[in-house]
């Protein structure tokens, strides 16, 4: 089996990105899961050398092709853009610009077919705004670069997989977007991911929108008019899904193993339970785009950057999930 080639973008060099990347390669063997290329700055990695025992052999290269043919060491490619000097914890627009350019380079290499996709370390929204960009986050940037409008923002752990039918919308707009077609697309996109992950006998649960899933129409009719028809259409197409399940019991049932995936009707319906439960193992996944993209489920953590206490577990989970999605498909 050929391991999938994956970009690992460093994110904001003044955050914990360089440290968690160094710890990832020092403490785990990601090369056993995938063929990784770091999109970032080798000198930024050098600044965390003292924080990591058995510092990995990072090697700066000047192209994706050079990275792919590197025999010894872990390739680090800066995409033609040198990063500014590291200043841990500082909001530097130039660091924001570098982070965006690395994501763009990694996404383009994936679109070109040289890589299967990318695993992203955190960026600072404040910095990318100051640098003149107006993306809400990676998800929107990667969706735009790949020309995708029907992407889905997802959160995965080992026991919880949540596909959100909408992302960064006001709750009022999200309620208005609860429509049969969008729900059906979400179920299909989620089911494809379960197949890619080779999960045996997957069962998908579709959440209701309203309290108690609307209580038979007593408070809200979206379950009757949009959600149930979407579930029935998908079941008719052979996708194992059920619902609408009351939102305040669906996540416990998934944790108990009854469902392998939940389709959530809005951002916080899925984010609230997952972020309450998952400490380090949460992975942010963008589904519906033509490349693989996973991300750590935490921010730049400017407050602890450079101190050595950052934990690499979410990055480990993100790269393992990307490798699994990339290997089996």
Residues contributing to the site for its own copies (CB under 8 A): 136, 167-173, 175, 209-212, 214-215, 218-222, 247-249, 251-252, 255, 266-269, 271-277
On whether the CB atoms of residues 80 and 105 are closer than 8 A, the answer is: yes
How far apart are CB 196 and its own copies at their closest, in Å? 26
How far apart are CB 117 and its own copies at their closest, in Å? 25
Nearest to residue 65, comparing CAs of 121, 1, 113?
113
How far apart are CB 249 and its own copies at their closest, in Å? 6
Q: In whole angstroms, give the CA distance from residue 230 to residue 55.
A: 51
Q: In whole angstroms, give the CA distance from residue 228 to residue 178.
A: 11
**Closest to its own copies by CB, 181 or 268:** 268
Cα distances from 102 to residues 41, 79, 123, 241, in angstroms, run 9, 6, 11, 38
How far apart are CB 133 and its own copies at their closest, in Å? 14
**Closest to its own copies by CB, 21 or 285:** 285
How far apart are CB 247 and its own copies at their closest, in Å? 5
How far apart are CB 269 and its own copies at their closest, in Å? 7
Q: In whole angstroms, give the CA distance from residue 150 to residue 158.
A: 25
On whether the CB atoms of residues 163 and 284 are closer than 8 A, the answer is: no
**Closest to its own copies by CB, 195 or 218:** 218
**Closest to its own copies by CB, 68 or 175:** 175
How far apart are CB 223 and its own copies at their closest, in Å? 10
On whether the CB atoms of residues 143 and 289 are closer than 8 A, the answer is: yes
Nearest to residue 161, comparing CAs of 281, 248, 8, 279?
281
Residue 75: beta bridge partners? 59
Residue 60: beta bridge partners? 76
**Closest to its own copies by CB, 171 or 309:** 171
**Closest to its own copies by CB, 91 or 248:** 248
Nearest to residue 325, comparing CAs of 109, 167, 205, 161?
161
**Closest to its own copies by CB, 31 or 249:** 249
**Closest to its own copies by CB, 55 or 133:** 133
How far apart are CB 273 and its own copies at their closest, in Å? 5
Q: In whole angstroms, give the CA distance from residue 183 to residue 164.
A: 9
How far apart are CB 210 and its own copies at their closest, in Å? 5
Residue 61: beta bridge partners? 77
Q: In whole angstroms, give the CA distance from residue 228 to residue 63.
A: 50
**Closest to its own copies by CB, 38 or 160:** 160
Q: In whole angstroms, give the CA distance from residue 77 to residue 79.
A: 6
Token representation of residue 113: 């077919």
Q: Residue 20, class by beta-carbon neighbours within 10 Å (0-12 exposed, 13-18 middle, 19+ buried)?
A: buried
């Amino acid at each position: 089996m050929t391991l999938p080639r994956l970009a690992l973008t460093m994110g904001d060099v003044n955050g914990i990105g360089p440290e968690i990347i160094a710890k990832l390669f020092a403490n785990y063997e990601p090369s056993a899961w995938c063929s990784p290329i770091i999109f970032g700055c080798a000198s930024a990695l050098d600044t965390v050398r003292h924080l990591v025992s058995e510092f990995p052999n990072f090697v700066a290269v000047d192209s994706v092709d050079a990275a792919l043919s590197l025999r010894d060491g872990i390739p680090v490619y800066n995409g033609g853009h040198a990063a500014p000097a590291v200043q841990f914890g500082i909001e530097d627009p130039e660091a924001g610009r570098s982070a965006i350019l690395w994501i763009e380079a990694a996404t383009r290499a994936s679109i070109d077919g040289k890589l299967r996709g990318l695993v992203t370390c955190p960026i600072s929204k404040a910095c990318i705004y100051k640098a003149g960009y107006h993306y809400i986050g990676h998800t929107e940037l990667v969706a735009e670069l790949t020309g995708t409008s029907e992407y889905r923002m997802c959160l995965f752990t080992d026991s919880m997989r949540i596909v959100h039918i909408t992302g960064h919308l006001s709750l009022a707009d999200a309620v208005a977007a609860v429509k049969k077609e969008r729900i059906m697309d979400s179920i299909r996109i989620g089911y494809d991911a379960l197949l890619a992950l080779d999960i045996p006998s997957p069962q998908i649960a579709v959440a209701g929108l309203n309290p108690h899933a609307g209580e038979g129409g007593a408070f809200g009719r979206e379950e009757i008019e949009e959600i149930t028809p979407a579930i029935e259409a998908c079941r008719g197409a052979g996708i194992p899904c059920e619902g609408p399940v009351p939102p305040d019991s669906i996540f416990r049932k998934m944790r108990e193993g009854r469902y392998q995936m939940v389709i959530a009707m809005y951002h916080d319906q899925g984010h609230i339970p997952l972020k309450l439960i998952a400490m380090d193992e949460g992975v942010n996944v963008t589904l519906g785009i033509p490349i693989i993209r996973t991300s750590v489920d935490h921010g730049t953590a400017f407050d602890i950057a450079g101190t050595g206490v950052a934990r690499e577990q979410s990055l480990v989970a993100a790269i393992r999930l990307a490798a699994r999605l990339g290997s089996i498909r």
